[in-house]
A = this chain, B = another copy of it.
Amino acid sequence: MTAALIGIDWGTSSFRAWRIDGAGRVIDAVTEGPGILAAITQPGGFEGALTRAIGGWLGAAPIIASGMITSRNGWVETPYLPLPLDLSALAGGLVAHETGFGRIHFVCGAISDRDGPSPDVMRGEETEIIGHLADSNPDGLFILPGTHSKWAQVRAGRLTGFRTVMTGEMFQLMRDHSILGRLIQPGPPDPEAFGRGVAAGGQGGPLLGRIFSARSLALLERLGPGQIADYLSGLLIGDEVAQCLADAPDAPDAPVTIIGRGDLADRYRIALQAQGVRAQIAPAGMAQRGLWNIAQTAGIV
């Protein structure tokens, strides 16, 4: 099979790449490789890491890449494009870089509220959202769960606003380093404890007070050591969902779209349902579809 495009989604701690044919279909995929933090220290830097990961593919098709690989600590730092942002702006903003095996086209990141009190940035998620826009509803609210989850507002096929919430990182910090974390013991998944956490997360008052209440519940033996982690996960995701919905410019009438997979996507779906909001989980493949659409619009393929 002949590839028309090689697409790469290269994040801080993740690497995924696809060979894509002339009809936009994925014909080969690599889902493991060094993230940029690992690649930067390897022999030959990013070029060496890429050669080891997908060397057999290189030279036969144009390459497009998105994600934190375009950040200051990445291979080529690309600008942040302002909102509202659409497919043609992303295609027009590609930054070409010559390498030993041909040209790589790097996608720009996006910036929200650059001069305001709470600026926000993304690199990679804009490509996944664009991927979704190409063949579905052009209006709506999107959530991309992760270490730093992204909430994105789309209107008429354009990215009009977004916000990053560091819920995943906070969960890890609390679990691994906090006084509360010392009480945590491993246990089987506990949907009931998660649900109690979601309910507590949707309540008012300071978040850092509600987190402390998890410790009180444990001290009072109303929360078992094996339940604390799921309760805390529910509390943090529940707070994120309640606060972001309250802060959204208008209540979502269409279902919210979750771009993500597995257990974490399910947790967000449950927390949205607890707020009376319907959610749908996007089909897999948003990153490669976005890369293809950007390349096609830019005339690379």
Take A173-B177, A199-B117, A200-B117 as given contacts and tell me if A165 and B208 are in contact as well, using a CB distance cutoff of 8 Å.
Answer: yes
Binds B, one of A49-57, A237-245, A269-277, A286-294: A237-245
Distance of A79 from chain B, by nearest CB (Å) = 12
Most buried by B among A118, A119, A208, A212: A208
Query: Complex: how many Å from CA A102 to CA B247?
Result: 60
Distance of A268 from chain B, by nearest CB (Å) = 14
A179 at the binding interface (Cβ < 8 Å): yes
Closest to A120 in B: B216
Residues in chain B near residue A246, CB distance under 8 A: 204
Distance of A231 from chain B, by nearest CB (Å) = 11
Question: Which residue from B72, B236, B243, B247 sits with its C-beta under 8 Å from A219?
Answer: B72
Question: Which residue from B169, B208, B222 sits with its C-beta under 8 Å from A166?
Answer: B208
Residues in chain B near residue A209, CB distance under 8 A: 118, 120, 163-166, 240, 243-244
A206 and B240: CB pair below 8 A? Answer: yes
A58 at the binding interface (Cβ < 8 Å): no
Binding site for B on A (CB under 8 A): 72, 114, 117-121, 148, 163-167, 169-170, 173-174, 176-179, 196, 199-200, 203-213, 216-217, 219-220, 222, 236, 239-240, 243-244, 246-247
19 contacts between A and B (CB under 8 A): A114-B220, A118-B209, A118-B216, A119-B220, A121-B216, A121-B219, A164-B209, A165-B206, A165-B212, A166-B179, A173-B174, A204-B246, A204-B247, A205-B247, A206-B243, A207-B207, A207-B239, A209-B243, A209-B244
Closest 10 pairs between A and B when the two form their complex, measured CB to CB: A206-B243, A118-B213, A165-B209, A119-B216, A164-B212, A205-B247, A166-B208, A165-B208, A173-B173, A207-B207
